[in-house]
Amino acid sequence: MTDVPSAEFNIRDYLRTELFPHFMCPGCGHGIALRALLWALHELGISKDNLAVVSGIGCSGRVGAYIDANTFHTTHGRPLAFATGLKLARPDLKVVVLTGDGDCLAIGGNHLIHACRRNLNITCLLLNNEVYGMTGGQVSPTTTEARYTTTTPSGNHEPAFDACKLAEAAGAGFVGREMTLQTPALKNLVKEGMSHNGFAFIEVLSDCTEIYGRKNDLGESPEMILAQKAEFRSKDYGMERDEVFQPRSLATGVLSRNDHEEYTAAYRKHVLSKASS
């Protein structure tokens, strides 16, 4: 862990290669998200010894295990709660949370709301693949309407959750969204989020090829990742959209930013004021 990374980005400098081959399915977007995160860390010059990665349960939760840093694999829906305690105990650490749409928005939804509200200096990456991929392909809070999952054999009839609107409304200091198709843009967004002094919430639109893609007849990984462009960019360029992909018209990039005081700084001021009174 103390090896000095090379000047040029080499992903192997940041991975526990002894754990390979990795568990991710062929074409899984989470691997691209992992690369973007490590690329951002390299360009920011963040030491692996000064980095803590906290993850929950699910495909996203397993991703953190491959990062050669201080990593914590926590219980389902609780990575933000663990990360909050860690950051308060060790404010010197750069804390990153890796979580999924089920982990963060279903069982962990309450923790997300209060992490945003507190505005602690943590970066949260929500890897959104629209399904509970690891446990059998059940419907998640972000599953697009009419999609087929194990628990919606007739198609999902519930509206999909807009996680970024929730984070913004709850008070997150930085909110952004990007797709794995745009890897350099995703890397730059992660850099911006990690440089923000406050809670940064970044939704990463990822693909689950083996569970979600097969069940919905969305093709192989190349077709699915190119569909991201059709779904989210075609409106900007006046292109026709393929009806198969049911575009969600979600905005990408930095969606909101505010500079209200970071939690640990505000807390220390509060304690000092009470001590002097």
Confirm if 108 and 251 have CB atoms less than 8 A apart.
Answer: no
82 class by beta-carbon count within 10 Å (0-12 exposed, 13-18 middle, 19+ buried): buried
Torsion of CA 110, 112, 116, 118, to 10 degrees: 60
Confirm if 105 and 113 have CB atoms less than 8 A apart.
Answer: no
Report the pLDDT value the prediction gives residue 183, as an integer from 0 to 100.
95
CA atoms within 13 A on the CB side of 38: 23
At 197, list the tokens: 């002094």
Report the pLDDT value the prediction gives residue 249, as an integer from 0 to 100.
64
158-174 per-position pLDDT tens digit:
999 999 999 999 999 99
Q: Which residues share a beta bridge with 202?
A: 125, 176
Report the pLDDT value the prediction gives residue 200, as an integer from 0 to 100.
98
Domains of the chain: residue spans and CATH: 11-276 (3.40.50.970)
Report the pLDDT value the prediction gives residue 265, as an integer from 0 to 100.
87
196-215 per-position pLDDT tens digit:
999 999 999 999 999 999 99
| CA 151/CA 41 separation, integer angstroms | 38
pTM, whole model, 2 decimals?
0.90
Confirm if 108 and 75 have CB atoms less than 8 A apart.
Answer: no
Mean pLDDT by 10 residues, the chain (277 residues): 70 94 92 97 96 95 95 95 96 96 95 96 97 94 95 95 95 96 96 97 95 93 85 45 48 92 89 83
Report the pLDDT value the prediction gives residue 236, as an integer from 0 to 100.
41
